[in-house]
């Protein structure tokens, strides 16, 4: 699909960012120019540990993508460098609005080149192209690659993915093949993947796997929000919830109403999609088939929001998802994290056993030992305390207890990425702190088991 834009080459100097807190003492954030959400679980991975260094990406000023790298041996940072120019965040349309749907996703190919996918919220209605798999909204999905292996200082856009994309999720298989998953347009669009067998230099045409379809019983269209991750061998796992994209909610307009939870696996060798029992399902999947064959949890009263999925050492899936009841506010109000697991015979879990209202990712060592790394707010009187903490279960998710807190800031709140790919224990997630009063810029942290690492020098890259 040919995009009506010019290829862009970026060779920016590292962005000078002073990182001193009140009292002029050095802080532990690696930059102070995060913008909007900065990072989120859904666009993943946002970073990767490779050959002793952790590479991170995030949304910076004007919603453009930025990349930095931390050397674990020397304790030094390089960057952040601007790695592309997003169509989002600029012009009159975004004068008083932060979009944040184009946050970057990162992947390092087998040749060592660093890739980011960024900048789309369904594609622009003015790019001169027609989206045959859904609608359009804003921004064009873009793909940038480093000019040299493992060098973040210069970047080049490649015109090889559909501009009609958002919520990028990138997976590299053991043989080096790259799969890029995203929603092909605005809400009422199919979810697709594009495959590359040459280190991301070319991608095959989009292939749909979740289908949008107009409902006949209510004034709404079926839509979806999946989370995809590498499974065992040539398999990719997929958890997803259902978005009832109503024409309008009386008195509230459009709402992010989501329900239920589903699970699929994708065999990248033969191209088949199967449910947890191994039954092959027709693609692209529609709501009726998903309800009949792929259901983990169903409740039309409970609202859901985002999820993540992983396999334990026995290859059995675990899913974390935020759930709550509609409170009459946008997106249905607060939602506590829930845990589901497949026992080999049935899905269990879903009852809130101690987990907070939160966002984050999960790790399952086995059926019993499950850990979430969550961004949550712990109230201290009238002041919230933003925290990044482990929440741990030793009984398969029947109960969870608060474990070690890795980062906390009084009067602040945090957004977190999903786990960094191949994460070093000292650098598991990228975290965005709420902006100081009077500013739109967020401090950004690289957080691991010993807290935030790598206090920055006065000027990064200097």
Q: Output the DSSP codes for 178-223.
A: EEEEEE-SSSSS-EEEEEESSTTSS-PPPEEEE--EE-SSSSEEEE
**pLDDT of 456 over the 60 cut:** no
Q: Which residues contact 244 (CB under 8 A, 6 or more apart)?
A: 218, 220, 222, 223, 257, 258, 259
**Mean pLDDT score of the chain, rounded to an integer?**
91
Q: Which residues contact 131 (CB under 8 A, 6 or more apart)?
A: 123, 164, 184, 185, 189
Query: What does the alpha-carbon distance between residue 99 and residue 122 come to, in Å, rounded to a whole number?
Result: 12
Q: Give the pLDDT of residue 30.
A: 94
**pLDDT of 20 over the 60 cut:** no
Cis peptide before 80 (omega within 30 of 0): yes
Mean pLDDT of 437-450: 94
Cis peptide before 83 (omega within 30 of 0): no
Mean pLDDT of 258-263: 97
**pLDDT of 263 over the 60 cut:** yes
**What are the backbone dihedrals phi and psi of residue 94, each rounded to the nearest 5 degrees, phi first?**
-115, 20
pLDDT tens by residue, 131-186: 999 999 999 999 999 999 999 999 999 999 999 999 999 999 999 999 999 999 99
> What domains sit in the chain, N to C, each tagged with a CATH number?
103-414 (2.120.10)
**pLDDT of 302 over the 90 cut:** yes
**pLDDT of 58 over the 50 cut:** yes
Work out the pLDDT band at 209, boundaries 50, 70, 90: very high
Residue 431 Cα distances to 285, 287, 319, 386, 444, angstroms = 34, 34, 21, 11, 6
Work out the pLDDT band at 10, boundaries 50, 70, 90: low
- Taking the alpha carbons of 434, 418, 364, 256 in that order, is the dihedral positive or negative? positive
Q: From the candidates 29, 44, 101, 184, which is the catalytic residue?
A: 101
Q: Return the higher-pLDDT residue of 254 and 135.
A: 135
254 is catalytic: no
Task: Let me know: does 69 contact 54? Beta carbons within 8 Å.
Answer: yes
Q: Give the pLDDT of residue 18.
A: 36
Query: What does the alpha-carbon distance between residue 78 and residue 140 come to, in Å, rounded to a whole number?
Result: 28
Nearest CA to 424 among 449, 401, 388? Answer: 449
Work out the pLDDT band at 14, boundaries 50, 70, 90: low
Task: Let me know: does 86 contact 118? Beta carbons within 8 Å.
Answer: yes
pTM comes to 0.94
**pLDDT of 347 over the 50 cut:** yes
167 is catalytic: yes
Q: From the candidates 66, 167, 242, 263, which is the catalytic residue?
A: 167
């Amino acid at each position: 699909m040919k995009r009506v834009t010019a290829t862009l080459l970026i060779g920016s100097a590292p962005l000078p960012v002073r990182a001193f807190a009140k009292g002029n003492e050095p802080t532990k954030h690696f930059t102070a120019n995060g913008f909007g959400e900065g990072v989120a679980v859904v666009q993943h991975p946002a970073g990767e540990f490779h050959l002793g260094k952790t590479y991170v990406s995030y949304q910076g000023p004007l919603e453009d993508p930025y990349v930095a790298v931390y050397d674990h041996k020397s304790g030094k940072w390089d960057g952040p460098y601007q790695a592309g120019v997003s169509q989002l965040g600029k012009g009159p349309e975004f004068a008083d609005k932060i979009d944040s749907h184009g946050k970057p996703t990162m992947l390092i190919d087998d040749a060592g080149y660093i890739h980011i996918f960024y900048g789309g919220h369904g594609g622009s209605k003015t790019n001169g192209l027609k989206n045959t798999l859904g609608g359009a909204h804003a921004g064009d999905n873009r793909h940038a690659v480093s000019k040299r292996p493992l060098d973040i200082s210069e970047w080049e856009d490649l015109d090889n993915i559909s501009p009609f994309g958002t919520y990028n999720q990138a997976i590299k298989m053991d043989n080096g093949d790259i799969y890029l998953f995203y929603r092909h347009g605005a809400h009422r669009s199919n979810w697709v993947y594009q495959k590359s067998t040459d280190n991301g230099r070319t991608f095959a045409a989009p292939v749909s796997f979740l289908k949008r379809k107009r409902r006949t019983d209510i004034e709404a269209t079926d839509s979806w929000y999946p989370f995809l991750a590498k499974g065992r061998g040539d398999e990719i796992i997929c958890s997803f919830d259902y978005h009832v994209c109503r024409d309008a909610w009386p008195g509230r307009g459009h709402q992010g109403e989501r329900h239920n939870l589903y699970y699929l696996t994708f065999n990248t060798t033969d191209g088949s999609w199967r449910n947890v029992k191994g039954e092959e399902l027709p693609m692209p999947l529609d709501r009726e088939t998903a309800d009949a064959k792929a259901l983990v949890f169903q409740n039309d009263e409970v609202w859901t929001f985002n999820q993540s999925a992983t396999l334990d050492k026995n290859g059995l899936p675990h899913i974390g998802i935020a759930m709550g009841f509609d409170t009459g506010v946008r997106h249905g109000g607060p939602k506590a994290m829930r845990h589901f697991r497949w026992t080999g015979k049935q899905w269990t879990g879903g009852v809130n056993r101690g987990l907070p209202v939160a966002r984050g990712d999960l790790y399952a060592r086995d059926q019993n030992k499950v850990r979430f790394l969550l961004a949550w707010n712990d109230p201290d009187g009238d002041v919230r305390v933003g925290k990044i903490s482990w929440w741990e279960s030793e009984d398969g998710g029947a109960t969870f207890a608060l474990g070690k807190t890795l980062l906390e800031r009084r009067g602040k709140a945090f957004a977190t990425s999903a786990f960094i790919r191949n994460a070093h224990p000292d650098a598991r997630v990228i975290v965005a702190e709420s902006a100081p009063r009077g500013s739109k810029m967020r401090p950004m942290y690289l957080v691991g088991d010993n807290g935030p690492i790598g206090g920055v020098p006065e000027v990064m890259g200097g």
